[in-house]
Amino acid sequence: EDKVVQSPLSLVVHEGDTVTLNCSYEVTNFRSLLWYKQEKKAPTFLFMLTSSGIEKKSGRLSSILDKKELFSILNITATQTGDSAVYLCAVTSNFGNEKLTFGTGTRLTIIP
């Protein structure tokens, strides 16, 4: 069965700090890894990663995938209070459907 483990479970930092969130996975026939941000209800899409070693960036957020070691990291630089949320990591496989297997998430709290 596919499995995603995120660490840390929660993180409290001061505004302006840089944070790194971790995601390790076990999946048969890996297709992609996705990061979502969940503030209240709807998870909002951040990144989709399919290839090792290629960094994806969006403003202060960046992410990279290591398919050999089976993990991904999400970096947030110069954190702001609006970055406070639960960050979810999910994987998909090549088994003919779109099932996302999620981790439990990392709850990030930014103190002003």
Partner 1 sequence: DAGVTQSPTHLIKTRGQHVTLRCSPISGHKSVSWYQQVLGQGPQFIFQYYEKEERGRGNFPDRFSARQFPNYSSELNVNALLLGDSALYLCASSQGTGNIQYFGAGTRLSVL
Give the interface with partner 1 as residue ranges (CB under 8 A): 4, 31-32, 34, 36, 40-45, 48, 88, 90, 92, 96-105
End-to-end C-alpha distance for the chain, whole angstroms? 41
Query: How many CA atoms lie less than 13 Å away from 112 in the CB half-sphere?
Result: 2
Q: Which is nearer to partner 1, 31 or 77 (CB)?
A: 31
Instruction: Give least dist CB 65 to partner 1, A.
Output: 15
Minimum Å distance from CB 40 to partner 1?
A: 8
**Considering beta carbons, is residue 35 or 83 the nearer one to partner 1?**
35
Q: What share of the chain is helix, strand, coil (3-state, %, to 5)?
A: 5, 60, 40
CA-based Rg of the chain, rounded to a whole angstrom?
A: 14
Residue 94 Cβ vs partner 1, minimum distance, rounded to whole Å = 9
